[in-house]
Homo-oligomer: A and B are copies of this chain.
Amino acid sequence: MENTINEQTSAQVITPAQFLEHYQGHRRLTRKLIEAFPEKEFFTYSIGGMRPFSEMVKELFAIAVPGLTEIVSGKVGDFDEHRDFGNTKAQFLAKWDQDTEDINKLWAKISEARYQEHVKLFGQYEGSVQSSILYFIDNEVHHRAQGYVYLRSLGIEPPFFYDRD
C-alpha cells in the first residue's frame, strides 16, 4: 500500500468506480438487446399481457438519469415512465448513449461517504444511495431478461448474458 487513500480503497467491498463499471457493463448488454430486436417487434411484441420491450426501456430511462440526478441534487423529481423518446430504435439508442454519458457525469458527483446516506427517490422510494442504485441495476437486469424471452420466442438468439463489452 502506497498511502492511506489506497488502503481505504483496497478495503472497500466494492469501490464507487467498480460499482459504476458494474452498472455500465449491464447497460452495454441492455443496449445490445435493443439492437437485437426487430424494429417493429421492439415496439409491439409482448407475451402474457406484458409490455413491449420499448416500454420497459422507457421505464429504465425514467429511473437511471432522473434517479441519479435526485441523488446528486437532493431535489425531488417526477417518476414518469411514459416520456416520449420517439418511435424508432435509433432514437432510443441515441437516448441510451446520452444517458451513458450523463450517468458517468452524475456518478462523479457522488462522494464515497454518500452511498450509505438515506434517500427517498421520486418522493416515495426509500433506501440508502447504494441500495437505490442496486435497485436501478436489478430492475434493468429483470426487464432485460424479459426481453431475452421475447427474443427467444421470436426465434432470435440474444447476446450472451456475460457479454458486457
Contacts and interface: CB of A to CB of B under 8 A. Distances in A.
Interface of A: 8, 10-16, 18-19, 22, 26, 47-50, 112-113, 115-116, 128, 130-131, 134-135, 137-139, 141-146, 148-155, 161-162
Given A11-B8, A11-B113, A47 B145 contact: no
Main secondary structure of the interface of A (DSSP, over half): helix
A76 to B, nearest CB: 19
B138 A49 contact: no
Nearest to A154: B48
Nearest to A13: B115
A48 B157 CA distance: 10
Contacts of A146: 145-146, 148-149
A26 B142 CA distance: 11
A55 to B, nearest CB: 14
A162 B112 CA distance: 26
6 contacts: A13-B112, A13-B130, A47-B153, A50-B152, A142-B148, A146-B149
A18 B149 contact: no
A15 B8 CA distance: 14
A113 B13 CA distance: 7
A11 B130 contact: no
Closest 9 pairs (CB-CB, A-B): A48-B152, A145-B145, A48-B153, A149-B149, A13-B115, A142-B145, A141-B141, A14-B130, A146-B149
A48 B156 CA distance: 9
Nearest to A162: B135
A101 to B, nearest CB: 22
